């Protein structure tokens, strides 16, 4: 479980294709000091198991399914990635509960400065539209954000200067593919309503 509060922006050192997947190596000096092999790390919001670490670098083995379902398949040397360690017992909690299970990828429609902040508009696939509501939580590339508006085929979040500077949204632009995880509470509500509808007498 994660919080959606990015701890470090790492830099990809190497991506190497292998049978049914890839090996990923990331330079992350801050994170590397606080983890051990086997720990869970969210990389652009995708929960990965740390296979090894040395000095200031982290290594991960990626399954083909992970590559197919996330924007990790687009990573190249020097790509910037959002990193967050899993939530520890007694640790400080902010943001919202993020599982690290990517629901879909969506492209940026527009990313423009407005006043001191940035308005980020992202495509919203119709099959997931019921999970997105104004003032609801959503994780974008692992960042916990609040939905500001829901449009016909997209939704809008506002990015404050601190978030832009301390995540890989700092280099984002229209057309970029983002990892999206919808709020787990919305999924639980959907499940309960579905069960109630199928069992009207309970």
Each residue's pLDDT tens digit, 167-186: 999 999 999 999 999 998 87
Three-class HEC string of the chain = CECCCCCEEEEEEEEEEECCEEEEEEECHHHHCCCCCCCEEEECCEEEEEEEEECCEEEEEEEHHHHHHCHHHHCCCCCEEEEEECCCCCCCCCCCCECCCCCEEEEEEEEEEECCEEEEEEECCHHHHHHCCCCCEEEECCEEEEEEEECCCEEEEEECHHHHHCCHHHHCCCCCEEEEEECHHHHHHHHHHHHHHHCCCC
- Is the pLDDT score of 199 beyond 70? no
Question: Hey, which residues does 114 pair with through a beta bridge?
Answer: 117
Q: Does one domain contain both 149 and 77?
A: no
Mean pLDDT in residue range 33-38:
92
* Per-residue confidence (pLDDT) for residue 7, from 0 to 100: 97
Q: Does one domain contain both 127 and 62?
A: no
- Is the pLDDT score of 202 beyond 60? no
Q: Does one domain contain both 116 and 76?
A: no
* Position 90 in a domain: no
* Position 115 in a domain: yes
* Position 96 in a domain: no
Number of independent structural domains in the chain: 2
Percentage of residues in the chain with pLDDT exceeding 90?
A: 83
* Position 3 in a domain: no
pLDDT-wise least confident of 51-55, 59-63, 69-73: 51-55
- Is the pLDDT score of 198 beyond 70? no
The pTM (predicted TM-score) of the whole model is 0.92
We report the CATH number of the domain holding residue 53 as 2.40.30.20
Domain coverage including residue 139: 104-192
* Per-residue confidence (pLDDT) for residue 97, from 0 to 100: 87
pLDDT band at 87 (very low <50, low <70, confident <90, very high): confident
Dist. CA 130–CA 138, nearest whole Å: 13
Average pLDDT, the chain: 93
Q: Does one domain contain both 108 and 188?
A: yes
* Per-residue confidence (pLDDT) for residue 188, from 0 to 100: 73
Dist. CA 133–CA 175, nearest whole Å: 23
* Per-residue confidence (pLDDT) for residue 91, from 0 to 100: 64
Dist. CA 16–CA 14, nearest whole Å: 6
* Position 124 in a domain: yes
* Per-residue confidence (pLDDT) for residue 19, from 0 to 100: 86
Task: Give CA separation, 38 vs 21, 49, 56, 182, in Å.
Answer: 18, 6, 16, 26
Mean pLDDT in residue range 103-131:
97
């Amino acid at each position: 479980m994660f919080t959606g509060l990015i701890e470090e922006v790492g830099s990809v050192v190497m991506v190497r294709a292998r049978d049914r997947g890839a090996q990923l190596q990331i330079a992350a000096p801050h994170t590397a000091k606080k983890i051990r092999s086997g720990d869970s790390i969210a990389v652009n919001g995708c929960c990965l198991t740390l296979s090894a670490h040395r000095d200031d670098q982290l290594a991960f083995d990626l399954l083909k399914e992970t590559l197919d379902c996330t924007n990790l398949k687009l990573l190249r040397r020097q790509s910037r990635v959002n990193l967050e360690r899993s939530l520890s017992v007694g640790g400080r909690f902010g943001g919202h509960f993020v599982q690290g299970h990517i629901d879909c990828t969506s492209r940026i429609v527009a990313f423009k400065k407005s006043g001191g902040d940035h308005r980020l508009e992202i495509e919203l696939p119709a099959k997931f539209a019921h999970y997105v509501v104004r003032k609801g939580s959503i994780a974008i590339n692992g960042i916990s954000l609040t939905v500001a508006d829901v449009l016909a085929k997209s939704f809008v979040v506002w990015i404050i200067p601190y978030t832009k500077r301390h995540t890989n949204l700092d280099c984002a632009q229209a057309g970029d593919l983002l990892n999206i995880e919808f709020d787990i509470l919305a999924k639980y509500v959907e499940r309960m309503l579905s069960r109630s509808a199928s069992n009207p007498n309970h």
